[in-house]
Chains A and B, each alone.
Chain A
Amino acid sequence: MTDLPLREGLFHIPESPGDKPYLIGSRCRVCGYACFPGKSVCVRCRRDDTMAEIKLGPYATLETFTVMRVGPHDFPPPYVIGYVRMKEGAPVFTLITDCEPKDDALKLGQEMELVIGKIREDSRGNNVIGWKFKPAERQVT
Chain B
Amino acid sequence: MKKLAREVCIIGVGMHKFGKFLDKSLKDLTRVAVWNAIHDAGIDAKQIEAAYFSNVLAGLITGQESIRGQVFLRDAGFEGLPIVNVEGACASGAIALREAMITVGAGVYDMVLAVGAEKLYLDDTARSIAAMAANTDVEFMAGLGFQFTGSYAMTLRKYMQQYGWTQEHFARVASKNKYNGSLNPYAQYQKPMSVEEILSSRVIAWPLTLYMCATMGDGAAAAIVCSQEMARKIGGKLPVTIATCCLRSGEVTGEDDGQRGIAREAYDTAGLGPPDIEVAEVHDAMAPGEMFRIEKLGFCRAEEMGQLIDQGYFSLTGKLPVNTSGGLAARGHPIGATGLAQIAELVWQLRGEAGARQVKGRNSLYPRVGLAQNSGGYVEGSPAALTVTILKRDVA
Contacts and interface: CB of A to CB of B under 8 A. Distances in A.
Interface stretch (B78-86, B198-206, B265-273, B302-310): B198-206
A64 B130 contact: no
A31 B253 CA distance: 10
A94 B144 contact: yes
A43 B381 contact: no
B60 interface: no
A74 B235 CA distance: 57
Interface string A60-74: 000111111111110
Contacts of B112: none
Contacts of A71: 145, 147
Contacts of A65: 154, 157
Nearest to A66: B153
B143 A70 contact: no
Given A7-B139, A43-B253, A44-B253, A68 B147 contact: yes
B147 A93 contact: no
B144 A93 contact: yes
Contacts of B146: 81, 93
B143 A68 contact: no
Contacts of A67: 205-206
A58 interface: no
B158 interface: yes
B143 A120 contact: yes
B91 to A, nearest CB: 20
Interface string A103-131: 10000100000000001100000001010
A68 B147 CA distance: 9
A65 B161 CA distance: 12
B158 A66 contact: no
Given A64-B154, A72-B145, A93 B129 contact: no
A101 to B, nearest CB: 10
Contacts of B145: 68, 71-72, 75, 79, 81, 95, 119-120
A95 B143 CA distance: 10
B149 interface: yes
B168 to A, nearest CB: 15
Contacts of B154: 64-66, 81-83
Contacts of A95: 144-145
Interface in B152-176: 153-155, 157-158, 161
A73 B147 contact: no
Interface of A: 6-7, 31, 33, 35, 37, 43-44, 63-73, 75, 79, 81-83, 91, 93-95, 103, 108, 119-120, 128, 130
Nearest 8 pairs of A and B residues by beta carbon? A44-B253, A66-B153, A103-B206, A64-B154, A75-B145, A66-B205, A64-B158, A64-B157
Given A82-B154, A120-B145, 18 more contacts: A35-B380, A43-B253, A63-B158, A66-B150, A66-B153, A66-B205, A67-B206, A68-B205, A69-B203, A69-B204, A69-B206, A72-B147, A73-B126, A81-B144, A81-B154, A83-B381, A93-B381, A108-B157
